[in-house]
């Protein structure tokens, strides 16, 4: 039962993250929770989509029985999650030019 509950919870987060990314991709506008502090919404969009895909792959990888496939899927999912998190971080923090 716990496995099914965690599967549902993770996929709800994945869907919400992907919907937020698709919203920015199609309209160019972000949700009200990040509207004032997001100088680069397109970069944040690609980060949200990468993070959602990586989280979904990691969760799917936990259901696979073959260890080789599990290692490959989990590594790809982790790389996507990390790159998505970095892209979202870079979208929020604009580097300043040296004085």
Task: Report how many helices (DSSP H) and strands (DSSP E) the chain contains, helices first.
Answer: 3, 0
The two structure tokens encoding residue 7? 């599967």
DSSP designation for 96 = P
Please compute, for residue 13, the number of CA atoms within 13 A of its CA located in the half-sphere on the CB side: 14
Alpha carbons 82 and 98: distance in angstroms, whole number: 27
pTM exceeding the 0.75 threshold for the entire prediction: yes
The 10s digit of each residue's pLDDT in 60-98 is 887 788 888 888 999 999 999 999 999 989 988 776 655
In this prediction, residue 36 has a pLDDT band, given cuts at 50, 70 and 90, of low
């Amino acid at each position: 039962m716990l496995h099914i509950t965690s599967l549902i919870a993770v996929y709800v987060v994945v869907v919400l993250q992907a919907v937020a990314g698709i919203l920015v991709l199609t309209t160019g506008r972000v949700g009200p929770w990040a509207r004032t502090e997001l100088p680069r919404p397109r970069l944040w969009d690609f980060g949200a989509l990468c993070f959602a895909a990586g989280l979904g792959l990691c969760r799917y990888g936990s259901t696979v029985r073959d260890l080789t496939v599990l290692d490959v899927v989990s590594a790809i999912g982790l790389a996507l999650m990390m790159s998505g998190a970095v892209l979202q971080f870079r979208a929020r923090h604009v580097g300043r030019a040296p004085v």
